[in-house]
Amino acid sequence: MQVKSSSTNQEQLSFNQFKEKVLQDYKIAVVSRECSLLGRREVLTGKAKFGIFGDGKEIPQLAMAKAFKKGDFRSGYYRDQTFMMAIGALTPQQFFAGLYAHPNIEADPMSGGRQMGGHFATHSLDKEGQFKNLTEQYNSSGDISPTAGQMPRMLGIAQASKVYREISALENSKFSNNGNEISWGTIGNASTSEGVFFETINAAGVLQVPMVISVWDDGYGISVPAKFQTTKENISEILKGFQRNDTEKGYEIFVAEGWNYPQLVEIYSKAAKIAREEHVPVLIHVKELTQPQGHSTSGSHERYKSKERLTWEKQHDCIAKMRDWIIEFELKDESGNTLKLVNAEEELIQIEKEAKKEVSKAKRDAWNDFLNPIKEQKNKLLILLENLANQSNNKAFIVKLKNDLAAIVDTSRKDILSTARKALVYVRNEASSEKKQLQHWISEYLKAEQPKFSSHLYSNSSKKVSHVKEVLPTYDDNAEIVDARIILKNNFDTLFSKHNNLLIFGEDTGKIGDVNQGLVGLQEKYGSTRVADTGIREATIVGQGIGMAMRGLRPIAEIQYLDYLLYALQILSDDLATLHYRTVGKQKAPLIVRTRGHRLEGIWHSGSPMGAIVHLLRGMNILVPRNMTKAAGFYNTLLECDEPALIVENLNGYRLKEKLPNNLGEFKTPIGVVETIKKGTDITVVSYGSTLKIIEDIVNDLNQVDIDIEIIDVQSLLPFDTQHDVVKSVQKTNRLIVIDEDVPGGASAYLLQEILEKQNAYLYLDSKPVTLTAKPHRAAYGTDGDYFSKPNAEDIFETIYNIMHEANPSKYKKLY
């Protein structure tokens, strides 16, 4: 921002325009600070549960907002309220609505009360769940709390700009303007100690993507000073090796004083120009910041800061410094007249008074808007309870419940519903119209309120996975029998021709066509941008996928082996799996994560942590195809959908033979549907992945002892058997075994709960349901290691036989 500057690249302003913008910035900073101060009070008085605020970071965020353009994305940190206010994406009333956890996406557009305050997002999707024009708005990807967890996604958002610039066929005004968009990241200085920070920094330097990272440095990580956080106590100093030079690509690195408004504006303008035009990543280390109220409302920073530090912080408060600068600012015009931003301090005092009034009103309005619907329901219930009490033998107890509820000043939804449910217990043996009214009220209240806290875990749009119906593979009469990997390769080839926004990337994915040759030749055919190798860095491979999927691309992030997924599990669980939920359906990232696993060799390649994955990745589809035709069908299905998914290909199946379909790219494996691959009468056997082949191999052995099993392939763990076909099988066989190579209590326990509790299969069992799993440890190396660690053919045969022995000991004699 320059006043009558000769620069051709920066905004030129008249002095009055300059003055107006500066004073507007100052007011935003003061409003934001007042929100922080009043927010803390609301927590301490009990109106809000917890507060974490952006006080002390206001001025650099104003500078960042000036360089931020429509189409850009923020991937940030829970101190960024001033930035959000500066781009017009957060009002003070919305700030307080978030603090009170208002469960309405209109009142709290950040998360509909699902996240604590300080977690920001804009709306990328319309009411139908389809992408809006993202180039016409300022964008903020939905925040998460885990420190540095925003970094991998930031990388992917930036890479999308690079992809849109490099592939002209992808030109789409809805998502990009020639790749000019910047991914703006923010992070606290202490969080730069996290591994994913360094992983992302390295990856962005390799990829050369338009990313500007701001490190807010106030010298502490909660109570721990920088000397315990960072070598040399200086993140920009230790990252100097990433600085680009005349012959080597890398970063541009700037250091700024967090209280120096004109310097910050200039640096952010330079950083944006470099990133936007050259696609070079930029790091801005913003030093000498303060945190006037400490880390959060959980404690006081006076406990761990010295008197000298507290005095320094008061002197270097960024708003106070900006205030001094405004008062002292002078500029000579062409006639030699002195131009000032304010003629007297009273002008700033007036701005400060107006800010306080605005924030105070916003707080009151937000609280009333939050509380009024609750009061209405409370009053309705009080009337119901009064009527119920008058007709009940337990009047005294119900009246006490009513009075206790009436006495609660700031009533919660929990208080109301809990009281109603307790009252119902007192009249459980009574019959009255008042009891029926209460039962109806509870049912309707739950129906109205539960979705406010539970909706949008998965897509509600026309592209949800359940809308895609099965299309069977078809075959020529003389269909070729090929290595199964060929089916994957040829299907991917078809998909890349069909979807020009499809990309795939991972370790060994590009040049050699993945470690199992499922992509051979595709990089040469479609280019290294669409079929790409990456470094060994699983968290940021997933982050690339999340960010690009949020910007309209269809990425497949390849994690070489299932065990390696653990490196990325935090990002998958905390970011990808929760994205649609935590934004109440206002953002999505339909990323496909491809990996391979089941019964690999050795401790570090043999893990099948499916139970952990199923529980940690609610919000994703978890797919476990038994062969490559099924896997290819899942890819075809998912590319018609808008939900994220993990596909675990069966490593043992790549070189098994399968018939080559003639409708590649078109056949679709349904998600949430099991497949009965062998019918039988004696026992239902449920399994998935490579273990299915072992089960199939012993069918004849079981037949020889007169046991006829029905085999069901799970196909997808999440969702599981939406048509309830397993219970239909159990109705026929009256017996059930779940076989799994996960540890005891893992995926098998999950499946058993689904079958027994959700499908009520217990009603039809004549024998105890059984799970057969791997041992509690990882599989030891080699053939013998696998045999003694995971369910083998004899284990499966004997377990099934023993179930039949218990049912009919005279027919099935005890083996040993």
Element (H, E) at 29: helix 15-44
Amino acid sitting at position 651: L
| Residue the block writes with tokens 């997808």 | 716
Q: What is the largest CA-CA distance in the chain?
A: 114
Q: How far is CA 217 from CA 57, 188, 221, 677, in A?
A: 9, 6, 9, 60
Q: What is the pLDDT of residues 706-757, one digit of tens each?
A: 999 999 999 999 999 999 999 999 999 999 999 999 999 999 999 999 999 9
Q: What is the pLDDT of residues 246-287, one digit of tens each?
A: 999 999 999 999 999 999 999 999 999 999 999 999 999 999
**Count of CB atoms situated within 10 Å of the CB of 808:** 10
pLDDT reported for residue 6: 34
Query: Token digits for 424?
Result: 């119902």
Q: What is the SS3 string spanning 494-555? A: HHHHHCCCEEEEECCCCCCCCCCCCCCCHHHHHCCCCEEECCCCHHHHHHHHHHHHCCCCEE
Beta-sheet strand order (sheet of 73-75): 139-140, 73-75, 183-188, 211-216, 282-287, 252-257
pLDDT reported for residue 2: 63
Query: How many Cα atoms within 13 Å fall on the side-chain side of residue 13?
Result: 13
Element (H, E) at 737: strand 736-739
Scanning 274-344, the segments in alpha helix (DSSP H) are: 307-315, 318-328
**Count of CB atoms situated within 10 Å of the CB of 794:** 11
Judge whether 87 and 61 are in contact, CB under 8 Å.
no
Q: What is the SS3 string spanning 354-422? A: HHHHHHHHHHHHHHHHHHHHHHHHHHHHHHHHHHHHHCCCCHHHHHHHHHHHHHCCCCCHHHHHHHHHH
Q: 709-713 and 675-678 as β-strands: parallel, antiparallel, unpaired? A: antiparallel
Judge whether 404 and 419 are in contact, CB under 8 Å.
yes
Nearest-CA neighbor of 11 among 57, 55, 64, 67?
67
Amino acid sitting at position 101: A
pLDDT reported for residue 766: 97
Query: Token digits for 381?
Result: 């219930």
Scanning 647-781, the segments in alpha helix (DSSP H) are: 691-697, 699-704, 725-733, 747-753
Spatial distance between the Cα atoms of 340 and 811, rounded to a whole number of angstroms: 102
The per-residue b/e assignment along 580-608, b for 16 or more CB within 10 angstroms, e otherwise, is bbbbbbbbbbbbbbbbbbbbbeeeebbbb
DSSP 129: S
Judge whether 676 and 797 are in contact, CB under 8 Å.
no
Cis bond leading into 281, ω under 30°?
no
pLDDT reported for residue 91: 98
Beta-carbon contacts of residue 779 (< 8 Å; ≥ 6 apart)? 599, 602, 603, 606, 785, 786, 789, 790
**Count of CB atoms situated within 10 Å of the CB of 564:** 20
Spatial distance between the Cα atoms of 463 and 485, rounded to a whole number of angstroms: 28
Q: Helix, strand, or coil here: 676?
A: strand
Mean pLDDT by 10 residues, the chain (816 residues): 48 88 97 97 93 95 98 96 98 98 97 96 97 98 96 98 94 92 97 97 98 96 92 96 96 98 98 98 97 88 92 96 96 89 94 97 98 97 97 96 96 97 97 97 97 97 96 96 97 97 97 95 97 98 98 97 95 98 98 91 86 97 97 98 97 92 98 98 97 97 98 98 98 98 96 98 97 95 93 98 96 93
Nearest-CA neighbor of 713 among 748, 758, 750, 673?
673
Element (H, E) at 437: helix 433-449
Q: Helix, strand, or coil here: 695?
A: helix
Spatial distance between the Cα atoms of 250 and 243, rounded to a whole number of angstroms: 5
pLDDT reported for residue 9: 43
Spatial distance between the Cα atoms of 288 and 279, rounded to a whole number of angstroms: 28
Query: Token digits for 574?
Result: 């905390």
pLDDT reported for residue 11: 63
pLDDT reported for residue 336: 87
313 phi, psi to nearest 5 deg: -65, -40
